[in-house]
Structure 1
């Protein structure tokens, strides 16, 4: 609410509008212009936070019958929690305890970082003046979204990634997003080592050097390069909040990734102590945390009577760049790594009538299926409204519906949703029953005499 999805999407909306203004001539609009008022943009971000706040407020949960206590909590036994509150220490006992402490941005151990102005995705929203030169450290979804957004509102943005961007995505997706970042003015340095931060004659700089797999057009003589900036945004990932909770004293183990170790029912070493959300992982998404929360709550309430295993088979995700990247199920990269046989069906959004009418005919729909079968193993959409279009594939995968069912569903014309049907149509054409078609050809030839 305060530091994650809500403020970032509010900022992205402003950046997207400004991008449309700059490209207005593509729509036949000449002379369109807009002036960036950074303070007003950030003011809108905070107004959006305030408007959404009642959805996650203390008042809402109190009205639902939840007792909300503000303080710092520590588990002192398998059945009791000690809370330091402004009015003193309070101890609660319970049959079940759920740990849902989330994750925090990782601040890199970078020499000289304490000498320069740096923020993370959590405290970024407190800035009041536009950073003319923004340096984004990290190539994941958060780094890409914010790099493009700040470039969209007029900042000179340099993005540095240790390897490539969006490491979970397939090569075709990465290529499209790299192109979009370049078009928006982001200087993207991939396969780059960060060495240190320094201040020279009052100028803040990040010193980097090329790493393995550096792009051939990178020109810094193979040595060090100093990147000047006004603000450094650290977006290299998030780490589960597991310290200070009393886990060590109880011997509750962590995974190699630093998250709380649980079984398929989200139970820790102690069956009545459960955990959910980013503190468990492996998917750090709000909707996954909400999904896991149901299982943690129900398993806590009915402990010893009934236990439910978390259903993680169909997890959608969206990266809110422009174009958006939406994925559910397996990527090609994952299928190859797991040795899963698959075939790919593609539909280019440059063929979609609605996309053409909006001068947004770029991107694709890609569906993975077992060879010769229409069962969906995974779907990826890159394009405008990709996050909204993904829902149909997510629903189909969740309930075992194949591409044939999508093809047989009426989709209104002209809409973006037709992309799913056309992708299914491409699969059907590739698997047309040749013997039956040959027989029909002979039949109609005979009827024509």
Structure 2
């Protein structure tokens, strides 16, 4: 109601201004004709005239009425250079702020709600450098100030900042116009005020803040590097620490553009994903899935069977899979690509020097123009009393710890209800372990929507996992050879006996051991980087899990491009990392895959959305495959087909998601997906049918009703 009243008042005043012909009084000729009358009025009542003029100027500016230039000239003619500048400076800033506040109150919430995801980069930029952007715009009068007021009201810039920057930024232009107004009688047109020379001066003034920012950046870099002696020459263009996904891609890109690059790895090439994470877990998941399919063979018209297997052979296959993929990330391959690979531990001695303690003995020092830290992350081990006494494995160590076991652990406790914990809990349950999953949060997979968490829990429980949510692990205990974990639920303690304990409660960045402390590079949960992946030192970058904010192999590779290009070519052009479309998947059965917003995200961010849902139980191929469960859920802008986010639960959900990732990345809506031919019968048709559900929900009912009448008429 208040918004409607304010908007109606503004519209009424603007209509009255033009309807009553008041605009004819704010022309150069009209003011010149009445200059003597204005002067007489000012001499008779100087204070009242000044206050009246001030109020008129505020009103005109607040309503964005044309004629502010004429009023500024009149201020110079009536009150002189000093008095006119004083009045116009405060009146214009106050009026601009009122227009800014009106725009913010009337429009910002709806604009941010509708375009919030697209405006995120602008909002972040305004939060960081809004004063600088505004100051630049105020210094260049070729930008219409009423547009500046309107658009700035839609951003998160503070009101007090907006006021004082506007007053300071508009001062130069105010002086020019007020000074011209002191010679108002001699002016023949407004074009004489802003000659090409004056306009160029304003442009140079507008560029000045950018130059000042660059100079401040230069001084800041000098201060950061002040205590270090920069080498005169460099051995390398780039040194990369860590041969996981981020390090491998970074070094590959550097070699591809003919830079001299050295990649340093202390342990295994390929990093965590190849050796401990994605690859071995997916190999284990496949074996466990096949065992379940054998047990449920009667669903396909075959005789169900209890799979007989050696767990040792299952683990041997896991290691065989690692071995077969390892050549993709091998020293030999990367050497062939032009990357120098050193196996040893790296320590950054100064911003341009890396010391390598080689695995085969000796040390080597390298000077380099740039450094990329891609040290990855490690499993987080909670500080549970008694944990070391009972022993435990992590997602990194279980592959070697369990490799020589003939059978999986009889009783396995999995700490953690995130993706890693869920994948491993289901796999070991399918291979015969009695699995208890302990999660402190009220549900597993807490980042997903409630219905996804519920379906995931049901799936794990069907496979025999005892899922204990809202259970907090307190301590571990040992009684002879027996091992227990004590958990708390609703104020009651419970002891759970186990043979093996798997910690899967998340991963933490590797921040120690390679010189960050000595260089004073800030760290929090990760290495602190800016939007270009630069650390405190502009020539030292971080990428992948060690930099965050995501801990996925594919985002590590994504960041690697920015790290490599900014490290090698940042002197000419730097690129901000684009996190606008990030997909991920959890490979339980059924798989859960997501990109963009889900419903709980949208609600937390107050982003309006519509939900379109297609049940995969209706899909021909899924029915034929015996995998007719799950759904495709698409969030769109209300009334439009623009995709805000997609969640898919079902067979091969991670593969199905790629079409939506592509659509979101390139701004394609559901109509485009609906208009694309999908092979029949495939699971990918689920995406098209989801788009069809959206189309049916937005069918033009009135048009269809008229078409029905038309066809009835045609039938006679």
TM-score by length of 1: 0.96
Contact 1:36/1:153 (<8 A) preserved: no
Whether 2:448 is the aligned partner of 1:175: answer no
Match 2:529 to one of 239, 262, 284: 262
Match 1:334 to one of 601, 619, 623: 601
Number of aligned residue pairs: 437
Whether 2:346 is the aligned partner of 1:66: answer no
Whether 2:653 is the aligned partner of 1:379: answer no
Pick the structure with more strand per residue: 1
Superposed CA deviations along residues 155-181 of structure 1, whole A, max 9, x for unmatched, are 110000011211110011111100000
Residues of 2 paired with 1:203 and 1:253: CA distance?
44
Query: Which structure 2 residues correspond to residues 303-342 of structure 1 after superposition, within 5 A?
Result: 303-342=570-609
Whether 2:688 is the aligned partner of 1:421: answer yes
Partner SS for 1:355: helix
Superposed CA deviations along residues 76-131 of structure 1, whole A, max 9, x for unmatched, are 11111111123322111111100000000001100001111310000000112121
Match 1:150 to one of 405, 428, 443: 428
Contact 1:319/1:325 (<8 A) preserved: yes
Contact 1:350/1:361 (<8 A) preserved: yes
Residues of 2 paired with 1:132 and 1:189: CA distance?
18
Partner SS for 1:154: coil
- Give 1 or 2 for the bigger CA radius of gyration: 2
Structure 2 match to 1:210: 489
Partner SS for 2:340: coil
Cα offset, 1:446, TM superposition? 1.4
Partner SS for 1:70: strand
Residues of 2 paired with 1:120 and 1:79: CA distance?
36
Contact 1:117/1:230 (<8 A) preserved: no
Residues of 2 paired with 1:248 and 1:115: CA distance?
32
Query: Which structure 2 residues correspond to residues 41-56 of structure 1 after superposition, within 5 A?
Result: 41-56=314-329
Structure 1 match to 2:492: 223
Contact 2:295/2:304 (<8 A) preserved: no
Whether 2:396 is the aligned partner of 1:122: answer yes
Match 1:277 to one of 534, 544, 555: 544
Residues of 2 paired with 1:251 and 1:304: CA distance?
23
Whether 2:438 is the aligned partner of 1:160: answer yes
Residues of 2 paired with 1:324 and 1:267: CA distance?
36
Partner SS for 1:308: coil
Give the ranges of 4+ consecutive aligned residues of structure 1 lying more than 3 Å apart after TM superposition: none
Structure 2 match to 1:368: 635
Residues of 2 paired with 1:31 and 1:314: CA distance?
43
Match 1:33 to one of 278, 303, 306: 306
Residues of 1 paired with 2:304 and 2:293: CA distance?
13
Contact 1:324/1:386 (<8 A) preserved: yes
Match 2:507 to one of 210, 223, 238: 238
Cα offset, 1:261, TM superposition? 1.0
Residues of 2 paired with 1:187 and 1:240: CA distance?
30
Whether 2:415 is the aligned partner of 1:108: answer no
Deviation larger for 97-106 or 354-363 = 354-363
Query: Which structure 2 residues correspond to residues 349-368 of structure 1 after superposition, within 5 A?
Result: 349-368=616-635
Whether 2:708 is the aligned partner of 1:441: answer yes
Residues of 2 paired with 1:30 and 1:8: CA distance?
29
Whether 2:397 is the aligned partner of 1:97: answer no
Contact 2:412/2:502 (<8 A) preserved: yes
Structure 2 match to 1:217: none
Partner SS for 2:632: strand
Higher relative CO (Cα under 8 Å, sequence separation at least 6) belongs to 1
Cα offset, 1:74, TM superposition? 1.1
Residues of 1 paired with 2:430 and 2:332: CA distance?
36
Residues of 2 paired with 1:249 and 1:232: CA distance?
37
Residues of 1 paired with 2:703 and 2:492: CA distance?
65
Structure 2 match to 1:141: 419
Whether 2:295 is the aligned partner of 1:19: answer no
Cα offset, 1:236, TM superposition? 0.3
Structure 1 match to 2:164: none
Deviation larger for 434-443 or 159-168 = 434-443
Cα offset, 1:27, TM superposition? 1.1
Deviation larger for 171-180 or 222-231 = 222-231
Residues of 1 paired with 2:361 and 2:629: CA distance?
58
Residues of 2 paired with 1:225 and 1:203: CA distance?
15
Residues of 1 paired with 2:364 and 2:305: CA distance?
60
Cα offset, 1:437, TM superposition? 1.0
Superposed CA deviations along residues 173-215 of structure 1, whole A, max 9, x for unmatched, are 111100000000000100111111111242111011105xxxx
Cα offset, 1:70, TM superposition? 1.1
Structure 2 match to 1:253: 522
Residues of 1 paired with 2:368 and 2:291: CA distance?
52
Query: Where does structure 2 lack aligned partners over 5 or more consecutive residues?
Result: 1-273
Residues of 2 paired with 1:59 and 1:91: CA distance?
22
Deviation larger for 23-32 or 65-74 = 23-32
Considering only aligned residues, what root-mean-square deviation do their CA atoms show, in Å?
1.0
Superposed CA deviations along residues 237-256 of structure 1, whole A, max 9, x for unmatched, are 0000011121122221123x
Cα offset, 1:37, TM superposition? 1.1
Residues of 2 paired with 1:34 and 1:117: CA distance?
30
Cα offset, 1:143, TM superposition? 0.2
Cα offset, 1:31, TM superposition? 4.0
